[in-house]
Amino acid sequence: MSPLDSTQTRPDSIQSTFKVAAVQMASGPKVAGNLNEARRLIENAAQQGAKLVVLPEFFAIMGMKETDKLAVKEQPGSGQIQSFMSEMASKHKIWLVGGSIPLVANSPNKVRNSCLVYNDLGEQIARYDKIHLFNLELGNEHYHEADTIEAGDTVVVVDTPFGRIGLAVCYDLRFPELFRAMKEVDIIVLPAAFTSTTGKVHWEPLVRARAIENLSYLIAAAQGGYHVNGRETHGHAMVVDPWGRILDELARGSGVVIAEVNRRYQASLRSSLPALTHRTLTLQSGGQTSK
């Protein structure tokens, strides 16, 4: 894992209260149809006052087979999915986290699972490539993301008018060391497509744990429902506050969850419980630890 990548200088003025939204979808194999649904949901979120909107993992395509995403992969900076995100961000004057989309990889038979961030001018200002690739062999469920996805190796944090935002995608949620490597972040965004099987037991406690241990707001966008390809995703898109409280949640189906971020409240929690300043162990290579 390469060193922390901070993608922008810290703004002089950080907003103290603002609304955020996590989008939930049940995407299918047609990019155009998925983008139309995402358009509707982004507009819904913006109309409710959200200034930061997060889309789910692979919001633009959930193919009939895993290799389908190779056919719609895009070059960085061009393509219909990236143009769509730029258009939506500038049109609605929002910061948009483009869930994740397939971008070209070093291997021609794979893609990068890339989370892109656009500012309210429609400019892409950050990119995170999913580091941890999902693998599951459980009953009739078989997932091997490494067959079609090339892993990233860089932790990404971006400075925004809303504070420092750390980027993660789905399976990353199971690896707390990734979030510790972000240093101190104010908001964590997590586009996801958790399986129904694992999500029933693991999703909520993992999302809340990452928020609690980092004293951060966590915006978890999700795929949620039955997909044309036969897959079932867990849903339960949610926004969680730094104390671990779920501020809003959607169990299944397409929709948005909206919540208010209060940075003064967050600061008071970090002052009352300064756990982030009490860390004494530093992870070293080989699994060793030292003070």
Which of 57, 74, 145, 249 is catalytic? The answer is 57
170 catalytically annotated: yes
What is the dihedral sign for C-alpha 6, 147, 192, 36? positive
Going by pLDDT thresholds of 50, 70 and 90, the confidence category of residue 7 is low
The band of 281, judged by pLDDT with boundaries at 50, 70 and 90, is confident
Mean pLDDT for all residues in the chain = 92
Residue type, 235: G
Asked if residue 25 lies in contact with residue 223, where contact means CB atoms within 8 angstroms, the answer is yes
Look at residues 79, 80, 96 and name the one whose alpha carbon lies nearest to residue 42.
96
State the pLDDT at residue 9: 45
Query: What pLDDT shows up at residue 138?
Result: 77
CB distance 55 to 23 below 8 Å: yes
The confidence score (pLDDT) of residue 288 equals 43
Separation of alpha carbons 263 and 265, rounded Å: 5
Which two structure tokens, joined as six digits, stand for 72? 């719609």
End-to-end CA, the chain = 21
Lowest mean pLDDT among 133-137, 223-227, 232-236: 133-137
| Dihedral in degrees, nearest 10, Cα atoms 37, 123, 49, 210 | 80
Determine the average pLDDT of the residues in 247-274: 96
Predicted pLDDT at 100: 97
Spot the catalytic one: 73, 145, 170, 249.
170
How does residue 196 score in pLDDT terms, banded at 50, 70 and 90?
A: confident
Closest listed residue to residue 114, CA positions, set 162, 67, 82, 83: 82
Quote the CA–CA distance of 122 and 84 in Å, as a whole number: 10
**d(Cα 188, Cα 205) in Å, to the nearest integer?**
15
Q: What is the pLDDT of residue 144?
A: 85
* Domains detected in the chain: 2-266 (3.60.110.10)
Write down the pLDDT at residue 3. 47
Task: Give the H/E segment covering residue 85.
Answer: helix 80-92
Give the residue-averaged pLDDT of 207-225. 97
Q: Specify the pLDDT at position 120.
A: 98
| Contact indicator for 172, 131 with CB cutoff of 8 Å | yes
Catalytic residue, candidates 69, 115, 130, 145: 130
When pLDDT is cut at 50, 70 and 90, the band that residue 14 belongs to is: confident
What is the per-residue pLDDT for 287? 42
Active site residue 200: no
Cα–Cα separations (whole angstroms), residue 65 to 49, 70, 76, 184, 227: 37, 10, 23, 38, 12
Residue 128 — very low, low, confident or very high, per pLDDT cuts 50/70/90?
very high
DSSP-assigned states of every residue in 203-228: HHHHHHHHHHHHT-EEEEEEEEEE-T
Query: What pLDDT score was predicted for residue 202?
Result: 96
Mean pLDDT of 15-25: 96
pLDDT in tens, 54-73: 999 999 999 999 999 999 99
Q: For residue 291, name the pLDDT band (cuts at 50, 70, 90).
A: very low
Residue type, 181: A
Confidence of residue 8 (pLDDT cuts 50, 70, 90): low
Confidence check: pLDDT of 193 > 70 = yes
For 287, residues 6+ apart whose C-beta sits below 8 A from its C-beta are none
Catalytic site includes residue 130: yes
**How far apart (Å, rounded) are the C-alpha atoms in residues 73 and 63?**
12
DSSP 170: G
Residue located via tokens 């190779």: 70
